[in-house]
Amino acid sequence: MINKIIIVGGGSAGWMTAALLSKFCSDKEITLIESPNIPTVGVGESTLGTINTWLAMMGIKDEDFMKHCNATYKLSIRFENFGRLKDGGFHYPFGPPYTKENRAELNDWYFKKIIYPQTHNMDYAECMFPQMAFVGQNRISDKPNIVDGEWTFEKDAAYHFDATLFAAWLRDHICIPNKVKHIKEEIKTIETDDKKGIQSLNKKHKADLYIDCTGFKSLLLGKTLKEPFEKFDYLPNNSAWATKVPYRNKNNELKNYTNCTAIQNGWVWTIPLWERIGTGYVYSDKYISDEDALKEFKYWLSHPNVTYDPTPDFFTKKNWTDQLEFKKIKFEGGMYRNAWVKNVCAIGLSSGFIEPLESNGLLAVHEYLHFLLRCLGRSEISQFTRDNFNYSVRRMCKGFAEFVALHYALSSRTDTKYWRDIQERTYPFDFDHASLNNDFQRAAISRMQNYHYPSSEGLHCIATGLDWPATDLPTLIKYNSLFGFKSTYAELKKEWSESTSELNKRKMKWFLAVRDCPKTIDFLQKKIYGSPK
């Protein structure tokens, strides 16, 4: 039976774990031990809409925490230059697509692309997601029914925030008031038991369950219990430089989406917080040294829309980027074979990591906590319970890793060795099972053979943005025939011209519906931050 729980490690994973358990397992004694000398990673500044379920469970409102965490709202993720250089980018908006009046689910847009080949891929999100009207005009509203469909502000708007400040807010406003015992102490010795796992920490701290929130270090699961680590070899990156950039024109730069820009040897994130911009360069040190990657990053910060071509004196002259503090981060894409072994359960980075693309760091924390909470609801923990937890974690982590990998796999870039090698990388397809049980398989079968993607997943946004597969006439004629429509090109064009015109009309309808809503910065000022001093 689990009556006493020790969480090792603070940061967002540790304090989110402590907050949840202190609320829903109040009959248990909960202690959090963190080193006073080890800083947190502290770059997880972007979330997905799924965090709203966790916040709702906790009873946390936006007005409670956002102003303490430098937070802003996030409605989408924009990807630029992932398909090819100067591709104009595309969006992956949060929330469901709108297909109510469509004749062929998501495929109406592909017929539009055939009839009007010059249609930009950005148009896909604008035609299928009413919430893009907010994104395109950098506006937000929490009033219901402004646009069509099932998108709601409360459920689908995510956040940008300072993860370190968020952890501190949880500690002070939820954990300590809920009687979580907080110990600042370096873990110098870990005593083990072959059967149970961890016996004690520093020969004095004992628990029935130890939760590892020590980040990449994975002090309990990886270093102490020696659980095998499985690499995701299909992921290209293993390094990052991160920094904080002041606003130069906040009215223009504070967007309601995360921007991801692919460059020479990886990609750059841009996350607008309330008082600053969080940014970083994710890359592979197999293709570029850390020092040269920092140079590339500094050049990009100074020339964000220009191909990398520094003058000989660029790195010797004084530059505004010299005033910034840069933090180097090393990681390995992969996961421990099991996240719960004996009496140790790992949450967050200590159980594995993919890479920063698609904001999956904090996603793993709150989703794994949902799994853990369901397990702790039982009076006793059996091996079957642990196995179910491990299966759930493994399935989620591997599935998301495959989704992230497809952002690279579907790219057409060949301008550097990094991108050329991605073109030759192999991926673990699994065609021995009839069901679509991995994202690589889904990317191949969903549109290549079945002519459509499920609207409930995000793959259709990424694949369409990256032209996978190419929108070709024979495919659409065949798909057209499946619906019983006419199949010659002339008849197809006539058949679908009216429907594609309806896509344009509703896009304009959504645009007009949103144009009087407040700008993102004004909405935040009024709802969260109050009148400026």
Quote the tokens at residue 190: 């870990």
183 and 326 share a domain?
A: no
Q: Using CA atoms, how far apart are residues 329 and 353, in angstroms rounded to an integer?
A: 13
Q: Are 8 and 214 in contact (CB under 8 A)?
A: yes
141 and 176 share a domain?
A: no
pTM exceeds cut of 0.85:
yes
Structural domain contains residue 292 = yes
51 to each of 153, 254, 375, how far by Cα in Å?
Answer: 13, 21, 20
pLDDT at 433: 53
136 and 275 share a domain?
A: no
Q: Are 455 and 446 in contact (CB under 8 A)?
A: no
296 and 359 share a domain?
A: no
CATH of the domain at 385: 3.50.50.60
Signed CA dihedral, 10, 13, 15, 18: sign only: negative
117 and 186 share a domain?
A: no
Of 298, 330, 362, the residue at which a domain comes to its end is: 330
191 and 313 share a domain?
A: no
Structural domain contains residue 509 = yes
Of 279, 305, 330, the residue at which a domain comes to its end is: 330
317, 34, 47: which is closest to 156 by C-alpha? Answer: 47
Structural domain contains residue 508 = yes
Structural domain contains residue 525 = no
Pairing of the two strands 76-80 and 197-201: unpaired
434 and 494 share a domain?
A: yes
Amino acid, res. 169:
W
pLDDT at 446: 65
Structural domain contains residue 412 = no
pLDDT at 434: 46
pLDDT at 239: 97
Question: Which residues sit opposite 270 in a β-bridge?
Answer: 259, 279
Structural domain containing residue 293: 239-330
When divided into structural domains, the chain yields a total of 3
Structural domain contains residue 519 = no
202 φ, ψ to 5°? 50, 30
Instruction: Give the end-to-end CA distance of the chain in Å, rounded to a whole number.
Output: 53
23 and 86 share a domain?
A: no
243 and 312 share a domain?
A: yes
338 and 190 share a domain?
A: yes
Block means of pLDDT (10 residues each) for the chain, length 533 residues?
A: 94 95 95 85 75 94 96 97 94 93 84 87 95 97 92 94 95 97 96 94 97 96 97 95 95 96 96 95 97 95 86 84 93 96 96 92 92 89 94 92 92 96 86 60 65 74 86 64 63 77 93 96 96 59
328, 324, 246, 314: which is closest to 283 by C-alpha? Answer: 328
pLDDT at 486: 57
Using DSSP, state whether 188 is helix, strand or coil: coil
503 and 373 share a domain?
A: no
pLDDT at 167: 95
Quote the tokens at residue 456: 């409930």
pLDDT at 352: 96
Those residues whose C-beta lies under 8 Å from the C-beta of residue 512, and which sit 6 or more positions away, are none
371 and 309 share a domain?
A: no
Structural domain contains residue 65 = no
Signed CA dihedral, 342, 344, 347, 349: sign only: negative
